[in-house]
Structure 1
Amino acid sequence: MMKICFITTVPITLKTFVLETAKYLHDNEDVDITFICDEDEDFAQSLPEYIHYIPIKMKRGVNASGILAILKMYLLFRKEKFDLVQYATPNASLYASISSILAHSPRRLYCQWGIRYVGMSGFSRGIFRLIEKIVCILSTDIRAVSKKNLEFALNEKLYIKEKVKVIGEGGTIGVDLSLYDLSKKEAYREEIRKQYKINDEFVFGFVGRLSRDKGANEILTAFKNIVNNSRAKLFIIGDMEIDKNVSLDLLTWAKKSENVIFTGRKSQKELVKFYAAFDCYVHPTYREGFGMVLQEAAAMECPIITTNIPGASEVMENGESCLLAEARDEKSLYKVMEQVMRDKYLCNQLGLNARKRTETYFDRPIMLDNQCKDYKLLMKK
């Protein structure tokens, strides 16, 4: 029996990106599975009985609690003798990579689902680049989330190419297409538009926290210019934790505008309906691992606009299944938002092609099978 330990800083990451992998491994291979993350009783109760859950306190940010986390992991790894220790997210990866090499764990797998320092500058960028490099050096194997993220990391000399690979076309666990039933798309669309009293306006959608790095300033500026000349609506879906770097003037305008609709956080089931109601999903991010939300929108045949950066630009194909704008550039974003509004044929084709690409590369069974094969190869090294 192969023993694998999966570690992330907070439970939501394990739930979103790892749990389905663990279930697939349990159903298809002889594997003993352990999860480690910050303590969360509700998460513990939700797990299948065959997954061992070991809470270890890990706070986000730089703090002294990391020393205790490293010690606890080290003692655990020495005791359990895992065949493979897999880690992702910044703090968990630093603690686990140090602990596992000290405990002589034979395979130490770093899932590089994003590179945190990309959006930073100055001293902070230097510190977080150093942390990233330490994790990479201590790991025996690395799985980059996309080809361009891999190329960026190689150019940054974070690791040697012999350590790393991208599984399939990139990403993590893909999407469960059974949740995105196209036969219900029109009904969902009508339901949401009726609920929010939308008639023939063109509807843009944004899902996520309004932060500078997610392109909040750019999408609000571009949309403000659009509604000066066109009938359009913008849904903003997510927690109202506003980044201090988001323009207060823009935010004040958006909250007062009858064309901007703030919905708050929505469940995955509810989001499917909103994707159906959008005429275009806009994702103007500065940095991205791969973009699960892009795969979700595409699964509902929703046309996509994202930015020309590693990760985000690789989920779909520019001009075929998405349109790309330049990051940090509201004029570029405005131009492509106008383009997709004015060209109904293009808009329709983008949506159709996005769904086809998702079916081909990002359907969850395909992604999970690719991962399972990779684990087998890792254990043969």
Structure 2
Amino acid sequence: MKHKKLIIGITAEGSVNLLLGQLTFYKSQGYKTYLLAPYSERSAAFCKNEGCEHLIINIEREISPLKDLKTLWAILKIFRKIKPDIVNLGTPKVSLLGMLAAYVLGVPKRIYTCRGFRFEHEKGMKRRLLIAMEKITSLCAHQVICISDSVQKLGIESNIFPIKKANIINKGSSNGVNLDLFNPLNQSYIDKKQDIINKYDLKDKFIYGFLGRIVDRKGINELYNVFCKIYKENQNTRLLLVGPFETDQISNKNLLEKINRHPGIVNVGRVLQDEVPPYILALNVFVLPAWWEGFGNVLVQAAAMGVPVISTTGTGTIDAVSNNFNGVLVTPKVEAELESAMKNLLSNSETTLQYGRNGLEWAKNFERSIIWNGINKLYTKTE
């Protein structure tokens, strides 16, 4: 029996975290699987673990016409050699170049996984250019997987793709959440949680937490400003930040120094994916005041750990939280609403606990096999 050839592509090697387990699953379904991505130790290890072949490309995340033409030519040569039956490309640059190559070569099934729109926080010519790139990508695709309802809505309203091309798998997400990894009953997590509390002197403190890339659009400035007000009133509160500071995407160049000096803020830095669950488990409330996301996987991860969440009504985040069930949604960039939500969960312990319990149920909507099987239906669907 001939195995269908499936190529999944990403722009940045770090995006392999968005695909964990997925290529192993499709291999078990009879596909010959490939990852189209730049080389790094992480991407190489991913391919080894997933049992897929690594198709290495050099690709710039930002717009770079000459380098992009070279990458397009490289992808054309790869596709011509592999002759894939299906390509599923996600993240903007590889999606544009890869979908163009697949269209030119007549790949039988071309799927664009739309993980959000970078143009949301851009203006002027760059915004128009990014929208045009999205339109070309979608035009070359047979189907578009939108990883949230709000991404689909924005894509249709912006005339990027028609509704007949748009698909959402269950309640959203591109890869689901590994509920075996994010399991609050795991004894090793409980032990490590205690180690974290001891290490950072968090015993008997009310802990707000943030996990992810620390950049402006994740709402770090609003979170810092609001927490400073809360801490001034209540020195028993703490803010635990887990993730790397990407200073080129932070407008306030003094922010890192201010955070490191603040007596109520613990700046942990980057941790590995497998190390994340105990940090979430240590929190009383998880806070992600992002302006927009593609979906907001970390919000479901927090819910799966039984932690209540606060996020925003922005694109993507609005779909990852059930408002007033497992958390609270506020308007992006409105610090007064964020402050009110954070104070309410600080002072209302029963609501906080109930939101945490409800999160365990909410997270079940995003179990990985639900998402993978839903995507596979698109792979096997006859046009």
Q: Distance in 1 between matches of 2:132 and 2:301?
A: 33
Q: Quick check: 1:336 aligned with 2:341? A: yes
Q: State the Cα distance separating 1:148 from its structure 2 match.
A: 1.4
Instruction: Quote the residue 2:58 is aligned against.
Output: 57
Q: 4+ residue stretches of structure 1 with deviation over 6 A?
A: none
Q: Secondary structure at the match of 1:213?
A: helix
**Structure 2 unmatched ranges of 5 or more:** none
Does 1:8 pair with 2:13? no
Residue 248 and residue 5 in structure 1: after superposition, are their counterparts in 2 closer, same or farther (change >3 A)? closer
3-state secondary structure, aligned to 1:179:
coil
Q: Which of 214, 218, 236 is the equivalent residue of 2:241?
A: 236
SS of aligned partner of 1:178: coil
* Count of matched residue pairs: 376
Aligned twin of 1:115 = 117
Distance between the aligned counterparts of 1:32 and 1:255, measured in 2?
A: 48
Deviation at 1:253, TM superposition (A): 3.1
TM-score, normalization: structure 1? 0.94
The amino acid that maps onto 1:356 is: E
- In structure 1, runs of 5+ residues without a counterpart are none
**2:209 — aligned with what?**
205
CA–CA distance in 2 between the matches of 1:42 and 1:234?
A: 30
Cα offset, 1:137, TM superposition = 1.1
User: Which of 203, 213, 222 lines up with 1:218 in the alignment?
Assistant: 222
State the alpha-carbon separation in 1 of the partners of residues 361 and 20 from structure 2: 26
Q: Report the secondary structure of 2:232's partner residue.
A: coil
Pair 104,181 (structure 1): closer, same or farther in 2 beyond 3 Å: closer
Residue 265 (structure 2) aligned to one of 260, 263, 268 = 260
- The structure-2 alpha-carbon separation of the partners of 1:42 and 1:247, relative to structure 1 and needing over 3 Å to count, comes to closer
Of residues 248-257 and 211-220 in structure 1, the stretch that sits farther from structure 2 once superposed is 248-257
- Most deviating of 40-49 and 348-357: 40-49
Does the CA-based 8 Å contact 2:178-2:367 persist in structure 1?
A: yes
Alignment deviations for residues 266-299 of structure 1 (CA, whole Å, 9 cap, x no partner): 1223211111110000001011011111111111
1:334-381 CA distances to partner (integer Å, 9 max, x unpaired)? Answer: 11001110110110111111111112x11223322322233222xx22
- Specify the SS of the correspondent of 2:286: strand
Are 2:294 and 1:289 equivalent residues in the alignment?
A: yes
Identity of aligned residues (%): 24
Cα distance, 1:212 vs structure 2: 1.1
Cα deviation, residue 37, structure 1: 1.0
Match of 1:35 in 2: 35
User: Which has the higher mean CA deviation after the structures are superposed, 192-201 or 236-245?
Assistant: 236-245
Structure 2 residue identity aligned to 1:21:
Q
The alpha-carbon distance between structure 1 residues 115 and 333, as it changes in their structure 2 partners (threshold 3 A), is same
One-letter amino acid of the structure 2 residue matched with residue 341 of structure 1: L
Q: How does 1:1-381 map to 2 (within 5 A)?
A: 1-13=3-15, 15-27=16-28, 29-40=29-40, 43-48=43-48, 50-63=51-64, 64-183=66-185, 184=187, 186-230=190-234, 231-243=236-248, 245-248=250-253, 250-359=255-364, 361-377=365-381, 380-381=382-383
Q: 1:135 to 1:213 in 2, by over 3 A?
A: same
Greater alpha carbon shift after TM alignment, 261-270 vs 37-46: 37-46
Shift of 1:329: 1.3
Aligned-residue Cα RMSD (Å) equals 1.8
Q: AA paired with 2:237?
A: A
Q: Distance in 2 between matches of 1:312 and 1:208?
A: 14
> Residue 249 of structure 1: CA displacement?
5.3
Q: State the AA in 1 paired with 2:35.
A: F
Task: Check whether the contact 1:38–1:55 (CA below 8 A) recurs between aligned residues.
Answer: yes
What is the CA–CA distance in structure 2 between the aligned matches of 1:41 and 1:223, rounded to whole Å? 37
Range with greater deviation from structure 2 (239-248 or 329-338): 239-248
User: Which whole-Å CA distance do the structure 2 matches of 1:179 and 1:263 have between them?
Assistant: 21
1:131 offset after TM fit, Å? 0.9
Q: 1:220 to 1:24 in 2, by over 3 A?
A: same
Q: Secondary structure at the match of 1:173?
A: coil
CA contact (8 A) 2:184 2:305 kept: yes
Q: SS at the partner of 2:207?
A: strand
In structure 1, C-alpha distance between the alignment counterparts of 2:147 and 2:158, rounded to whole Å: 16
2:370 maps to a residue whose letter is I
Q: CA deviation at 1:75?
A: 2.4
- Distance (Å, rounded) in 2 between the aligned partners of 1:247 and 1:44: 35
